[in-house]
Amino acid sequence: MKSLFFKFYAYLKKDTLLLVKRKKYLSIFILLPLIIATLFLFALSPKGYNIKAGVCDFDHTNISNLAVQNLRGFDPIIINGTDCVEKMQEQIKQGKLDIGIEIGKGFSENLRELRQSKLVVYYDNTDIAFANLISWKIDQSLQPFKREIINNLNQELHSKVKAIRSGINIAVEFSGFNKKLQSKVKSTDDNLKSLEGMNTEFLTNPIWTDKRAVYSSGLKKDAGIIYIFPILAIFIILMLSSTSIIYDKNSGFITRVKASSSPLFYILAKLIFFTALVAVQFFIILILFMINGARYAMPPLAIIQLILFVGIIDALIGLIVGVISNNEGIAVLFSLMISFPLMLVSGIFFPTQALPRIISWTSSFLPLHYQIDATRQVLLFGQNLPYTWVYFAIPLIGVLYYLIRKN
């Protein structure tokens, strides 16, 4: 037992000294720019996916139906019932809907009476990238419908002005106030009242988009950590762990490990070391966000689970990359090729709901997707994590053990 402790201590001390001693290095290569450019130009286009939008239509008119049908780029799903809004918000929280749209009673009447109408849009404000897309996306999709309203308005204004002029001409022609003149004057007065009571903002913005978050509005500021922590962890740990094992191969340390003991102890020591680095990184980021005013649920067991999940999975991927690489430059290249594309499809730069279906579906199976979701569940909602990630870690340990023994 004592010898086992000293082995672990020696492994951890070696990695600590190596981390302190190593200098920063940069590599210029071709594959990474090609991959990033290809993803940006062809995969990260929001045009290939219709956003699922739940619709609560309390107006039930042809105009409200036209407004829903004119939501280009959206897949509208009509939700019925008096508790329609509650159902819609719950489905957004469960991920069954991307957004919800509420059309209030009187929507069409306001448009007919030349008054501004509004749509209430519900969205998940913990998804920062998608939340920033909502207003622009809906306004853009409604542009043809708004243009049609404006055109109809121009025709109506022309008609009313013509009627006013006609009424004035008749009033001038007659010298006495007979019944016909009184009727025309009253009609002219009604038209003038309609123009007088018209909302001027209606001319430029006939439909007002009112965004309403399904969670507390303060969560948007707090939600930044759910992307920052997993992305920084996978970027840093992959490079550190892969280059660490390259150093051990080149120095002959792994050969001595295989000759003196099982590689399993060596792997466990590596996982402990890099998971500890993830813990330090996590608390640095957490403290910075909390100093800035963010507040989080802090269940101790769930936080430990989160750190273990991120640290062990990222370290195992990085160690496997290091074993199959010939030198540190190749290891860094592979690490960048893995981490950068994962960042682009993680949801922080481009909302995954707006990506092409194949890209969105593929990203949901990647480790960074689960790590971001796990961070969200722990820090924002205080939920414990299931241990399903262990079933992914065990095969990775087996692959790493095999590669070390083989090489």
Q: What is the pLDDT of residues 335-373, one digit of tens each?
A: 888 888 888 777 766 777 767 778 778 877 888 888 998
Q: Which amino acid is at 13?
A: K
Q: Which amino acid is at 243?
A: T
Query: What's the confidence (pLDDT) of residue 35?
Result: 54
Query: What's the confidence (pLDDT) of residue 115?
Result: 76
Q: What is the pLDDT of residues 231-277, one digit of tens each?
A: 888 888 898 889 888 888 888 888 887 777 778 888 998 999 899 98
Q: What is the pLDDT of residues 101-131, one digit of tens each?
A: 899 888 888 877 777 788 888 988 887 767 7
Query: What's the confidence (pLDDT) of residue 130?
Result: 74
Strand partners, 333: none
* Integer CA distances (angstroms), 99 to 44, 51, 121, 383, in order: 20, 8, 7, 24
Q: How far apart are CA 152 and CA 226, in angstroms?
A: 47
Question: Which H or E element spans position 145?
Answer: helix 143-173
Mean pLDDT over each residue of the chain, to the nearest integer:
77
Nearest Cα residue to 333 out of 399, 243, 403, 407: 243
CATH class of 49-213: alpha beta
Residue 212 sits at φ, ψ, to 5 deg, of -130, 125
Kindly give, in sequence order, each residue whose CB lies less than 8 Å from that of residue 99, ignoring residues fewer than 6 positions away. 51, 52, 53, 54, 74, 92, 121, 122, 123, 134
The full set of domain ranges for the chain reads 2-43+220-406, 49-213
Q: What mean pLDDT do residues 206-218 have?
A: 70
Q: How far apart are CA 40 and CA 383, in angstroms?
A: 34
Query: What's the confidence (pLDDT) of residue 4?
Result: 65
Q: Is the pTM of this model over 0.85?
A: no
The CA-based dihedral angle spanning residues 297, 299, 304, 305, taken in that order and rounded to the nearest 10 degrees: -90
* Integer CA distances (angstroms), 260 to 7, 8, 289, 291, 348, in order: 10, 13, 45, 48, 46
